[in-house]
C-alpha cells in the first residue's frame, strides 16, 4: 500500500484487516481518536488499516455488499484524529481504503463498482481526487478508474 | 439537526472541506424514502453500464479479478491442487474466450505442450512466463505466474520424503558439524 510519510515521502507498508471482534468495536468506541460511533457499523463489514508491525489504527472503513446490484457501498470512512488536517504525518489513508474496496469489488465480479453518498459540500472532492461520478444522489467509481485507484494506492502486492 | 450534519459542522470549525474529505467520508443524511430513491437511481445506472459493457471492458475486469484472486492464493500459506499453474492457465483461456489452439499460436508454443501444461503434466519454463506476462497486456506480472510454479514445488519438497531418502543415500562425504 502506498501510505506515505508526509515529511520524508517515504513509503510505508500498510495492512487492512476485518474487525470481527465485538470487544474491538468497544475499544474503538472508547478510543478518543475516532469521532463516529463505530459500534453502529457492526452490521456491516468494518476494516481497519494499520502499519505493518504496528497496532495503532490509522483509519476505519464500513462497507456493505450488494450482491444483487453488483456493487459494494462505502458507508463510512474515518481517519484517526492524529492523522487529520494539514499537519497529518501519513498521507493516502483514505485513498488506500477506497482502493482496497475497489479491489474487493473486482474480486467479487462487480467490475470494481464502488458507491458512496458523500455530503453535498464534499462531492467535488470525491470527483476530483478519486474520479467518482454522480449517478443520481449517489456517486460511483468502476472499471478503469477503479483499477487506476488500485494501482495508485496499492500497486502490485509483494507476494 | 441531522446526525451527520452536526458532526460536519463541528469539524468545519477546525478543518477545511478538503481536509475533512481527506480524512473521512461523511454520508448524506438521507431519509428512508430518499435512500430508497437513491438506490433505485443507482441500480438503473449500474444495469445500463452492464448492458453497454464492451468486450474489452469485460476482459479487463475479468483479468483483474483473476489477478487479485491469484494474489490471495499466493499470499496464503497453503498449497491447493485446484490452483496450480495449469489450472490458472486453463482459467486464463476461459476468460479470454479463446481456444487452447489459438492461445498456443499466440504464445508460439506447441499445442501439445500447452495442453500438457494445462493438465499439470508438464511445468512451464521462464520463457513461457514472460510470454504470458506480455500476452496479458502486462496485467498479470511474470512473477505471479512463476510463483504458482514454485508454490507447487515447495509443497512437493515438503512432502517428498521418499526421493529425499533415495537421493540422500547417494551422497558421500557429507559435511559434518558438531552442535
pLDDT, one tens digit per residue, over A69-83 is: 999 999 999 999 999
Chain A residues within 8 A of B23 when measuring between CB atoms: 78-79, 83-85, 88, 93-94
Q: What is the mean pLDDT of residues A89-100?
A: 96
What pLDDT digit, counting tens, does each position of B56-92 carry?
999 999 999 999 999 999 999 899 999 999 999 999 9
Distance from CA of A84 to the nearest CA of B (A): 6
CA distance B53 to B9: 41
Q: What is the pLDDT of residue B179?
A: 67
**CB–CB of A138 and B61 under 8 A?**
no
What is the rounded average pLDDT of the residues B169-177? 94
With a cut of 90, say whether residue A1 has pLDDT above it: no
pLDDT at B1: 53
Q: Contact B25/A74, CB-based, under 8 Å?
A: yes
* Burial of A123 per CB tally in 10 Å (0-12, 13-18, 19+): middle
Give the model's pLDDT for residue B5.
85
Whether residues A76 and B74 touch (CB distance < 8 A) is answered with: no
Mean pLDDT for all residues in chain A: 94
E-strand spans in chain A? 3-5, 11-12, 14-18, 45-51, 57-66, 71-79, 90-91, 114-116, 133-135, 138-141
Whether A122 contacts chain B with CB within 8 A? yes
Residue A156 and residue B141: Cβ atoms within 8 Å? yes
Of B15, B12, B4, the residue nearest A119 (C-alpha): B4
B17 touching A, CB under 8 A? yes
Chain A residues close to B44, C-beta within 8 Å: 136
**Each residue's pLDDT tens digit, A24-38:** 999 999 988 999 999
For the segment A57-68, the average pLDDT, to the nearest whole number, is 97
Q: What is the ipTM of this complex?
A: 0.92
Amino acid at each position: 500500500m502506498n501510505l506515505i510519510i508526509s515529511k520524508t515521502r517515504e513509503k510505508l507498508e500498510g495492512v487492512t484487516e476485518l474487525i470481527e471482534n465485538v470487544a474491538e468495536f468497544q475499544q474503538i468506541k472508547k478510543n478518543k481518536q475516532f469521532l463516529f460511533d463505530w459500534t453502529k457499523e457492526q452490521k456491516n463489514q468494518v476494516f481497519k488499516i494499520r502499519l505493518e508491525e504496528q497496532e495503532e489504527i490509522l483509519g476505519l472503513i464500513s462497507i456493505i455488499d450488494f450482491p444483487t446490484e453488483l456493487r459494494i457501498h462505502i458507508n463510512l470512512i474515518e481517519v484517526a484524529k492524529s492523522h487529520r488536517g494539514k499537519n497529518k504525518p501519513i498521507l493516502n489513508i483514505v485513498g488506500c481504503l477506497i482502493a482496497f474496496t475497489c479491489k474487493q469489488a473486482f474480486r467479487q465480479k462487480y467490475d470494481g463498482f464502488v458507491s458512496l453518498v458523500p455530503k453535498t459540500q464534499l462531492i467535488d472532492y470525491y470527483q476530483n481526487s478519486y474520479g467518482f461520478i454522480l449517478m443520481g444522489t449517489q456517486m460511483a467509481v468502476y472499471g478503469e478508474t477503479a483499477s487506476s485507484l488500485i494501482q495508485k494506492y496499492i500497486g502490485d502486492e509483494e507476494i | 439537526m441531522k446526525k451527520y450534519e452536526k458532526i460536519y459542522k463541528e469539524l468545519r470549525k477546525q478543518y477545511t472541506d478538503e481536509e475533512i474529505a481527506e480524512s473521512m467520508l461523511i454520508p448524506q443524511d438521507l431519509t428512508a424514502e430518499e435512500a430508497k430513491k437513491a438506490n433505485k437511481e443507482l441500480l438503473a445506472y449500474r444495469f445500463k453500464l452492464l448492458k453497454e459493457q464492451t468486450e474489452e471492458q469485460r476482459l479487463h475486469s475479468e483479468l483483474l479479478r483473476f489477478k487479485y484472486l491469484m494474489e490471495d492464493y499466493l499470499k496464503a500459506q497453503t498449497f491447493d491442487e485446484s490452483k496450480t499453474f495449469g489450472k490458472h492457465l486453463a482459467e486464463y483461456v476461459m476468460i479470454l474466450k479463446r481456444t487452447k489452439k489459438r492461445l498456443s499460436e499466440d504464445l508460439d508454443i506447441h499445442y501439445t505442450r500447452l495442453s500438457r501444461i494445462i493438465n499439470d503434466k508438464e511445468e512451464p519454463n521462464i520463457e513461457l512466463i514472460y510470454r504470458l506476462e506480455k500476452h496479458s497486456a502486462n496485467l498479470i506480472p511474470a512473477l505471479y505466474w512463476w510463483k504458482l510454479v514454485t508454490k507447487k514445488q515447495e509443497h512437493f519438497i515438503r512432502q517428498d520424503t521418499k526421493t529425499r531418502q533415495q537421493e540422500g543415500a547417494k551422497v558421500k562425504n557429507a559435511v559434518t558439524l558438531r552442535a
